[in-house]
Structure 1
Amino acid sequence: MILIVDDTPENLISLKRVLERHNFEVDTASSGEEALKKVLKNEYVLIILDVQMPGMDGFEVAEAISGYSKAKETAIIFLSAVNKELKFITKGYSSGGLDYITKPVDMDILLLKVKTFYRIYEQSRKLIEIQKALLDEIEFRKQAERKKDEFISIASHELKTPLTSVKGYMQLLGRSVEKGDIPTVKKHLGKAQVQLEKLNELIADLLDISKIESGKLKFNKKSFSIDCLLDSVVDIIHQSNPEFKIIRNGKIGREIFADEMRVEQVIINFLTNAIKYSPGTNEIQINASLEGDQVYLGVRDFGIGIEPKLHKSVFDKFYRVEETSIHFQGLGIGLYISAEIVRRHKGEVGVKSKLGEGSEFYFILPLNSGVETD
């Protein structure tokens, strides 16, 4: 928008008409004081400013405008019928003007100058947008690099832990075998097996994330009962965590067309996380319901909970809540993989949680997610 400032009404009207005929949006002010009030409220690309005005003259107005951070990039063209000497023209430039035109005004020349300023403004705005986009992209590369480095460090530590444990148990097994202590051998074998299972899960997660990144995560979809799947999963979880009571609320009562193994993977991830982040508790709830042609399944715990501002981030790749990462092991990719599996089934994933009051991680899947095209 252009602001014309002139104390002579006929000058304002004639110049406004010419600019509007050329599709410029125009505003007017009949004094320096009025112009300053408008500059504070509105944004202008260009100000055409009369020099000789009662009260504040054009130079004073320009100097005042240059002090406004909002209007620092606004171009100013001075118009003057009286002050045509070199010293006034010089003062016009020094007070913030980009051009100084003497009256009577050649409208064709003024229009060319206005169009030039507009073109410069548009180019400048595009350059600023490009610069911002580049800076944002650079910052995103830096953040990705930091996350990658952090993930490599965490993965190395997490993989080393079960390996070290297995190595220790194997040494103890050797000694127990030599002594013929069969009960101790069985005990050490059991503990080594637990550590090997952890290692297997970590490697499986790493392979899954690699497949997701390369677009090679395959799905084998078929019709199955999600209620039966839940029965099986609850049995598996209960065997490894007998101290936890898993309460089932609701049933689906319908078959779902999806990848059974991958859906099971998501449910197990939600359940193991619920147990992991619920120290001092012994109850988990599975809430299942059929809502139209969609399945809702939520796993509710009564553990540490998550701050609302972090709800969206927990499904990000490599994300680990700082406070929990100190106390709980993990690569920070289980929920990311689960979210990708659900999204690839045309579903949605989310969490309802309050800090200190537990969490309910849930997914919503259509009864029929269609044929996988990969």
Structure 2
Amino acid sequence: MILIVDDRPENLISLQKVLQAHNFEVDTASSGEKALKKVLKNNYVLIILDVQMPDMDGFEVAEAISGFSKAKDTAIIFLSAVNTELKFITKGYQSGGLDYITKPVDINVLLLKIKTFYRIYEQNRKLNEVQEKLLEEIEFRKQAEHKKDEFISIASHELKTPLTSVKGYIQLLQRSIDKEDKEKAKSHLAKAGIQIEKLNSLIVDLLDISKIESGKLKFNMQDFCANSMVDNAVEMLQQANPDFKIIKKGTTNENVFGDEMRLEQVVINFITNAIKYAPGTNEVIVNIKITNDQLYVGVKDFGIGVSLAQQEKIFEKFYRVEENSNHFNGLGIGLFICSEIIARHNGKIGINSALNEGSEFYFTIPLKEINS
């Protein structure tokens, strides 16, 4: 729900009608004092706060709200028709606002910002739910306390990074719009979208691992073309990484029984890791073949490689190679999820590697259904 705070009824009504027309749930307050009372009683995703109000201005209201624990995740957007100087904009951010918009308001820009904040709020809400489940899982089933602490620290850092970037790009977007620089505005919006996708990808991994632990990870098993599945993964990642050569070797006309989407997820993870952990190189090879009624898919890079000791642990949950953890981001759960997916297909996952000589991650699964 959105709370609009403005002492002018005509402003409240007009903005309320616009937001409700776009299916937002809206509440209003005609003064800072009334707004604070409502914040204590209700949960709001976003507060749109007028700066110029009698008795208690928007800055004072924002500072008071920042002290409310239940409003710690609530975003605040300032609106101002008079205080448009840099010192007032700076004060708005210092008071706890995430954005400062000057009037007259471009309603399309405002709607864009509101939708972005809603997406971030929803992702944070899902993240909090997943983190709670993960903490329970780690507390009851895993005895390694230091791993729990390390994972929470990594997760917080990894999730905060794209979120911080999104906030920054939104601010740059506003400046570009104010300057009527449409090209830069489009660029900032596109970059914000990329960061949101990164955040979403991390959350999807967290949700997957939660489902694995609770036995609720669903599979849609049916016959499909393995060759097309690999082609789709290669094509998608080639478009996303135009400077890298992703070379597919081998082909097959055989159908495979399994969950096409989940197996494509494994191939995408292998290729993504191959690109990430091979700095200074520009080539990845994807091998596909059929041997003894088994599908083999392997992804070879020419990067840093993995030692024998590390190979024994690399598919474990939360495992991250120590000497690489400070150079490469990640939660340490992607390969664990891959191993669980392949296990559900009665297959085998593995790695062939040597330090400084590259790695080939691979999996094999039977072509036909096997009763577990």
TM over 0.5: yes
1:169 CA drift (Å): 0.3
1:370 CA drift (Å): 4.3
Larger radius of gyration: 1
1:189 aligns with 2:189: yes
1:287 CA drift (Å): 1.1
Where does residue 156 of structure 1 map in the other structure?
156
* TM-score normalised by the chain length of structure 2: 0.61
Whole-Å separation in 1 of the counterparts to 2:165 and 2:329: 15
Whole-Å separation in 1 of the counterparts to 2:365 and 2:142: 35
Where does residue 10 of structure 1 map in the other structure?
none
RMSD (Å) for aligned C-alpha atoms: 1.5
1:142 CA drift (Å): 7.5
Q: For the Cα contact (< 8 Å) 1:252–1:295, is it kept in 2?
A: no
Output one character per residue of 1:118-170: Cα deviation in whole Å (capped at 9) or x when no partner.
Answer: xxxxxxxxxxxxxxxxxxxxxx9785222111111100110000000000000
Residue identity opposite 2:194 in structure 1:
V
Where does residue 218 of structure 1 map in the other structure?
218
Distance change in 2, residues 1:249/1:331 (3 Å) = same
Where does 1:108-187 land on structure 2 (aligned, <5 Å)? Answer: 143-187=143-187
Residue identity opposite 1:368 in structure 2:
K
1:252 CA drift (Å): 2.5
Where does residue 234 of structure 2 map in the other structure?
234
1:244 CA drift (Å): 0.7
Output one character per residue of 1:229-287: Cα deviation in whole Å (capped at 9) or x when no partner.
Answer: 11111110011100111111111320001001100100000000000000000000011
* TM-score normalised by the chain length of structure 1: 0.61
Whole-Å separation in 1 of the counterparts to 2:193 and 2:368: 38
Q: For the Cα contact (< 8 Å) 1:221–1:371, is it kept in 2?
A: no
1:275 aligns with 2:236: no
Where does 1:60-99 land on structure 2 (aligned, <5 Å)? Answer: none
Whole-Å separation in 1 of the counterparts to 2:162 and 2:342: 29
Whole-Å separation in 1 of the counterparts to 2:142 and 2:234: 42
Where does residue 327 of structure 1 map in the other structure?
327
List alignment gaps of at least 5 residues for structure 2: 1-139
Distance change in 2, residues 1:193/1:347 (3 Å) = same
Where does 1:32-47 land on structure 2 (aligned, <5 Å)? Answer: none
SS at 1:364 equivalent? strand
Residue identity opposite 1:201 in structure 2:
S
Whole-Å separation in 2 of the counterparts to 1:321 and 1:356: 14
Q: For the Cα contact (< 8 Å) 1:306–1:359, is it kept in 2?
A: yes
Q: For the Cα contact (< 8 Å) 1:257–1:370, is it kept in 2?
A: no
List alignment gaps of at least 5 residues for structure 1: 1-139
Residue identity opposite 2:169 in structure 1:
Y
1:369 CA drift (Å): 3.5
Residue identity opposite 1:367 in structure 2:
L
Distance change in 2, residues 1:371/1:242 (3 Å) = farther
Residue identity opposite 1:307 in structure 2:
S
Where does residue 348 of structure 2 map in the other structure?
348
Output one character per residue of 1:7-60: Cα deviation in whole Å (capped at 9) or x when no partner.
Answer: xxxxxxxxxxxxxxxxxxxxxxxxxxxxxxxxxxxxxxxxxxxxxxxxxxxxxx
Residue identity opposite 1:241 in structure 2:
N
SS at 2:350 equivalent? strand
Output one character per residue of 1:69-128: Cα deviation in whole Å (capped at 9) or x when no partner.
Answer: xxxxxxxxxxxxxxxxxxxxxxxxxxxxxxxxxxxxxxxxxxxxxxxxxxxxxxxxxxxx
Distance change in 2, residues 1:157/1:173 (3 Å) = same
Where does residue 286 of structure 2 map in the other structure?
286
Residue identity opposite 1:224 in structure 2:
F
